């Protein structure tokens, strides 16, 4: 592990809170629900590599059913070095996630926003993430949510304007840029669902780029 902490370093208050919020993970069989549990657990925090390093080292050093479940979800949902650290300790939670189709509703000229719907699949279980990108604020993500009812989500989005197919890589490039702008805007007021689904969005952006 690249980020080193003295052996036996206790968890911070925020890290202990995340562990507590993830206590139901061993009982969750739905991979999407497990992802949302972890992502929701850090929604009001700003976890960095040091945060994840401490959490992962704690879970590895204290084997338990709960910590094993937490590590497996972290190995699946995190990106970059934290994902590698967790994956070195356990097999990532399955089933594998795949990227599906994506569509864009461009209302940037008349309404000042772009809407994206991107689909994904765990085995045969499909879900979608819907994003609203605010062009008036410089292209930042303003809304993001997850739905299992892909058909209804597409129908409701098409009511706002024509839906145009867009390549998965192009769609996630737009999202990567939008989240990057959001991260750099320290004064941004984030929608609760944007925070709650942030880890999911990051994982899917990384997956789309292989």
Q: What is the pLDDT of residue 9?
A: 64
- The first and second tokens of residue 52, run together, are 């994840």
96-105, 131-140, 160-169, 175-184: least confidently modelled range: 131-140
Q: What is the pLDDT of residue 7?
A: 52
- Which phi and psi (to 5°) does residue 117 adopt? -125, 125
Q: What CA–CA distance (Å, rounded) separates 34 from 22?
A: 9
- pLDDT digits over 36-66, tens only? 999 999 999 989 999 999 999 999 988 899 9
Q: What CA–CA distance (Å, rounded) separates 18 from 91?
A: 21
- What pTM value is reported for the model? 0.90
Q: What CA–CA distance (Å, rounded) separates 95 from 93?
A: 7
- pLDDT digits over 189-208, tens only? 778 899 999 999 999 999 99
Q: What is the pLDDT of residue 8?
A: 52
Per-residue pLDDT at 6 exceeds 60 = no
- The first and second tokens of residue 201, run together, are 């969005």
> What is the domain partition of the chain in residue ranges?
13-89, 97-208
Q: What is the pLDDT of residue 1?
A: 47
Ranges of H-type helices in 42-191? 49-61, 65-77, 80-89, 150-158, 168-184
Q: What CA–CA distance (Å, rounded) separates 19 from 131?
A: 28
């Amino acid at each position: 592990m690249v980020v080193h902490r003295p052996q036996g370093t206790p968890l911070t208050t925020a890290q202990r809170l995340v562990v507590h919020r993830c206590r139901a993970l061993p009982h969750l069989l739905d991979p999407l629900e497990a992802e949302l549990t972890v992502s929701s657990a850090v929604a009001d925090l700003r976890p960095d590599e040091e945060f994840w390093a401490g959490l992962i080292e704690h879970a590895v050093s204290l084997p338990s059913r709960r910590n094993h479940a937490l590590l497996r979800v972290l190995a699946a949902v995190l990106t970059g070095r934290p994902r590698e650290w967790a994956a070195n300790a356990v097999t990532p939670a399955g089933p594998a996630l795949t990227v599906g189709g994506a569509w864009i509703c461009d209302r940037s000229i008349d309404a000042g926003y772009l809407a994206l719907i991107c689909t994904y699949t765990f085995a045969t279980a499909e879900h979608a993430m819907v994003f609203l990108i605010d062009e008036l604020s410089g292209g930042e993500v303003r809304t993001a949510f997850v739905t299992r009812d892909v058909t209804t989500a597409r129908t409701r989005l098409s009511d706002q304007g024509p839906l145009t197919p867009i390549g998965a890589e192009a769609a996630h490039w737009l999202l990567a840029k939008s989240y990057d702008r959001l991260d750099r805007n320290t004064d941004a007021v984030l929608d609760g669902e944007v925070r709650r689904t942030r880890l999911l969005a990051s994982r899917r952006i990384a997956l789309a780029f292989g």
